[in-house]
Structure 1
Amino acid sequence: MPVKNYLHKIDLTQPKQLQTLVENRRVFNLQNCELNVFESYQEAYRVPLTFHDLVITSMVRGKKVMHLFDKPSFDYLPGETVIVPADETMVIDFPEAEADKPTQCIALAVDARYVNNTIQYLDNYYNSDPDTEHNWKLQFNQYHFANENEVTDLINKLIRVCSGGDKAKNIYADLNLKELLIRLMQSQHLLQVSSESGEWNNHSRLHHILHYINDNLTEKIAVDTLSRKAYMSRNDFFRWFKEQFGITPLEYINRERIKLAKQLLIDPKNTVTSVAMQCGFTDVNYFVRLFRKAEGITPGAYQSCSLQHNLSA
């Protein structure tokens, strides 16, 4: 399992201040967003919850089961985020909530005008290149995902700002909220372009670059080579790639190589060394460090777990 980035624990509501044992709510209102802290202290099922604005939710403690978009239900755990459009009802189960083991979740409701202004900012700033121009937006085909470091840090900051007493809290919240929205859209943009790159290799410069990377994961991939294929200087390419996707070219390459390594490690005939080489790593120790950072365990331990799972299946 990939390493999870957990939110900082939030103090639980004092028992005397609880209004209800299921989805007890604390609210912190700011100019462009509203922070909600929900807690449940007893088992409950099919609890509806609706916001009239875009909502970004993240689990802090415990477990929920979410029913959303008429899709199959899923477990919702700490280290994960769910984004939901305005007026979409979430139906929630609390199968494990107890008085001494409550669930806790935050929900950031974001003003629609603020979201639209942020999208307009992205359109104006990032669409100077006709080859990469597209309509920036939040997509809800990827609405449940593990938190990345940057997303976790930003949500932690927003919780601290919204629940604090600083007179400038609206200014600080504005800066962090805009970055959070941009990073979410960049991450979704990367996922979309990456999934299209095989079929749409020549659709755009972005598709062409990602297609080349994924076709050459087993080889040495130099940033200079990528910049030449993009017809850009090295510095311009590096900045352009990060603006579009929120991560550097090397971070993307390593992320894709770790995905490939996980597929290869399922085969017991492959050694950790051979997998490292097949994934374009010339230094096995570097591969092991990257793998552990991404997945929380070493490649060897991952292979052992995969083999045990296959034997028991």
Structure 2
Amino acid sequence: MPIKSYLTKINLTHPKQLQTLVENRRVFNMQNCELNVFETYQNAYHIPLTFNDLVITSMVRGKKMMHLYDEPAFEYLPGETLIVPANKSMVIDFPEADMQNPTQCIALAIDASYVKQTMNFMNSYYNTETDNHEWTLQFSQYHFSNDNEISDIINKLIRVCSSGELAKDIFADLAMKELLIRLVQSQYLKRISAEKDSNNNQGKAHFILHYIQEHLTEKIAVDALSRQVYLSRNVFFKWFKEQFGITPLDYINSERVKLAKQLLADSSNSVSSVSMQCGFSDVNYFIRLFRKLEGITPKAYKDCIMYTRQ
């Protein structure tokens, strides 16, 4: 997965305007959504929070511990997003919050009819006779690491909802639709990627991800991929982006970096040998790409792995 992409920090509430030190709330109401900005300035535990609509939350600063879906508590950190269905309770701990290190997150509550309308749009536009499946948000996968595109959309929503623009409802609607589509595509990619080995003959999506995995260490051209599923290059590129929300090259590179991380954990593998084993002909390109996706260089990543083993 790509490195977490952090949201642009939102100005904190002036101390004189704070109503409470735990989950102080600012609300921006739109036609089809409600943007909430929550801030906490002291340690607190077992704080319940429930919304009447689907909510998409993203951490901006600080750390929370989330209790959700009857699963073990987990850290919720900047650069991460959660989706929670309507009327589902979250219980939140703030173990590190104080006046110098407050937590801040946004919660975007979206009207159910708008979510349904967007899913209907996806099911009518993104389905074909050969790739027909139901597009819907799956709450079994609710925890996301934001990539650049998701962060850009959320940042846009924050700017629009907190602005005084006359057309902000229109701009917010467009951004919300894009955000929902990106999240559903991300879920679909993860599901198909997990199924690709056992169901590689089930359809084009399973087959092509399985094919990429089988040839990950080789040169993979988009033309070659398109021929595998009997599509023209342009049609294949468009189909892949519509299904998964990213380009074929972006997917190939992310999978190669995943493989590289496994290989770098072996002390006998050098950065240059890992680059070659992962299908990169240019080690400098590999280093730049690894740093873009993981935030550090392959050498620094390898050093971190070796240090933790000491």
Q: TM-score, normalised by structure 1?
A: 0.97
Counterpart Cα distance in 2 of 1:12 and 1:253: 40
Counterpart Cα distance in 1 of 2:76 and 2:114: 27
Q: Residue 80 of structure 1: CA displacement?
A: 1.0
Counterpart Cα distance in 1 of 2:189 and 2:240: 10
Q: Residue 15 of structure 1: CA displacement?
A: 1.8
Counterpart Cα distance in 1 of 2:301 and 2:12: 36
2:252 paired residue number: 253
Counterpart Cα distance in 2 of 1:4 and 1:213: 24
Amino acid corresponding to residue 93 of structure 2 in structure 1 = D
1:76 paired residue number: 76
Counterpart Cα distance in 2 of 1:72 and 1:280: 38
2:19 paired residue number: 19
Amino acid corresponding to residue 111 of structure 2 in structure 1 = D
Counterpart Cα distance in 1 of 2:304 and 2:151: 28
Q: Residue 277 of structure 1: CA displacement?
A: 1.0
Counterpart Cα distance in 1 of 2:3 and 2:235: 32
Identity of aligned residues (%): 68
Counterpart Cα distance in 2 of 1:182 and 1:194: 18
The answer to whether the 8 A contact 1:197-1:208 is kept is: yes
Counterpart Cα distance in 2 of 1:190 and 1:4: 17
Counterpart Cα distance in 2 of 1:300 and 1:13: 41
Counterpart Cα distance in 2 of 1:158 and 1:44: 29
1:31 paired residue number: 31
2:197 paired residue number: 198
Alignment size in residue pairs: 310
2:182 paired residue number: 183
Counterpart Cα distance in 1 of 2:58 and 2:306: 32
Q: Residue 141 of structure 1: CA displacement?
A: 2.0
Counterpart Cα distance in 1 of 2:288 and 2:107: 34
SS for the counterpart of 2:213 is helix
2:216 paired residue number: 217
1:2 to 1:131, Cα distance in 2 relative to 1, 3 A:
closer
SS for the counterpart of 1:239 is helix
Q: Residue 2 of structure 1: CA displacement?
A: 6.0
Compute the RMSD of aligned alpha carbons: 1.1
1:306 paired residue number: 305
1:112 paired residue number: 112
SS for the counterpart of 1:59 is strand
1:155 paired residue number: 154
Unpaired runs of at least 5, structure 2 = none
Counterpart Cα distance in 2 of 1:178 and 1:72: 31
Counterpart Cα distance in 2 of 1:2 and 1:121: 27
2:286 paired residue number: 287
1:139 paired residue number: 138
Q: Residue 300 of structure 1: CA displacement?
A: 1.3
Counterpart Cα distance in 2 of 1:205 and 1:4: 29
Amino acid corresponding to residue 259 of structure 2 in structure 1 = L
What are the Cα deviations for residues 195-227 of structure 1, in whole angstroms up to 9, with x where unaligned? 100000100111000000011101111111110
The answer to whether the 8 A contact 2:3-2:147 is kept is: no
The answer to whether the 8 A contact 1:28-1:36 is kept is: yes
Counterpart Cα distance in 2 of 1:52 and 1:212: 43
Unpaired runs of at least 5, structure 1 = none
1:67 paired residue number: 67
1:52 paired residue number: 52
Q: Residue 18 of structure 1: CA displacement?
A: 1.4
SS for the counterpart of 1:9 is coil
Q: Residue 236 of structure 1: CA displacement?
A: 0.3
Counterpart Cα distance in 1 of 2:63 and 2:2: 18
Counterpart Cα distance in 1 of 2:273 and 2:7: 37
Alignment partner of 1:3 is 2:10: no
Counterpart Cα distance in 2 of 1:185 and 1:220: 29
Counterpart Cα distance in 1 of 2:58 and 2:7: 8
1:2 to 1:303, Cα distance in 2 relative to 1, 3 A:
farther
The answer to whether the 8 A contact 1:2-1:296 is kept is: no
Q: Residue 143 of structure 1: CA displacement?
A: 1.2
Q: Residue 33 of structure 1: CA displacement?
A: 0.3
